[in-house]
Chains A and B, each alone.
Chain A
């Protein structure tokens, strides 16, 4: 891509659904995946006479995101009405923020990736608005159906500056935003469920120049895969146009996932006049410094800080990403490591063994049958040499399936360690007697072979020999190696 004379310029508009108990402007509950039109109240239907009253928790969530992105919170902001006729828009207008959003500016730092350095993406603004309902188009029939469950659910729209330069960067930015809102516990931020959505503004310019080219907006990108594919497709389309000496016409596009191409939905000339004006039903939104300070004091450790902390523990980049990518997983790791143990080993057990099992069972880490305390105990048993790795895996399997601690399983299933010095000495002596050639090699200085003897002892003891004691016995019974 770097060989192209065109540089890609991308700005993202991300919609993030807030996980409040009630909707943005009415005391109507909302549960994802409910039967159509069961999550409604008079306001949701825009029944005549109903009025919006803003949800304090939604504003609080908005403040948290503004603080996490260093966005400048405005003491006074306004809600505005944005008008267009659409069946999923009950009032004929959406309540959003236009001229006076609750915060301006800010930035998101994308962590470094493969062949990609860290990067700061500036934000234009974040604003609060309400979601629309959902339309279903019946195939082969000339009707569409509308479900208003989602109508009125609070959204934050996060508008970035055109600071993003590739599809990969765009998706990394989305992942970081997702991590941030999940750490803030303000959104499920799940692209598949539509609680995190994205529109991408894409333009090209001659590499090395400053002025922006004409941009096209790709709407409704609902997975990381399609976000990247759509941007790449749009870059291909614009590159072909410009290479042919043509020009890009500003328009709104959709991405065809089957044909892997973008197509024009409407051009600028057809752009709607939304007739924005301040919503007379809603007084200005006041956010005072005391409220901001209070939220600031209750901000959790954010992904960037956590990433730094894990790196300092010596974890590999890949593991850091896996842990930080899921706040619940990172919390699980933190709780485990808080009990002691080697960070890398604990991380390994969690990200390899535990995650594999959870994934196979389609369980989230919050529902892990193995608690941080049991995870810690297991790793500690291995680390102290009390059990071998092989036994540890067996134990892990059992504590995953049954509600028992590792030591409880050991006691019940006869994993009692072979720590009787007489028995062990007999065993070690027998192993050395059976392998005179290897003993001789050891004596001649091939000390690496020592592991072979440990393995033999463990094998004969069916893994129950105390590895520490076996080592001590080998020290005593093996001949001194020549230098």
Chain B
């Protein structure tokens, strides 16, 4: 019985597609099923586990990455949809020599993280926000973080961190 079951599974092997992405400036090419989500492509195929899966239903923002420079939720995009495009993950934010991105530095300086699970998504959402509104004020930062949840409820210092990087925020 078990053998029959196993052979049934192996017969229904799903066709794979070659998906090429530029991830943090490096060309990645992997054969994956069409149903592979971008977040799993990044974590399982590229080995970049900084991008987290939180709610897995496009609410919490822990999976936020940049797609061609804009924040998106990688749990709600099939890798096949973005074949050939450019993705930046949290691993691509610091300099090659380890110097932190100013936003990472601000989170560090302002205690912008507690457990840290939401942090990669917060940093990616925040940098995308400041690219669109370089002088974002507190209201704009809070609204810009609508798509990111912090279960530690550490929003105050997250907002403070982002304002430290904003041209319109308190220094």
Question: Are A and B associated in one complex?
Answer: no
Chain B residues in contact with chain A, CB under 8 A?
A: none
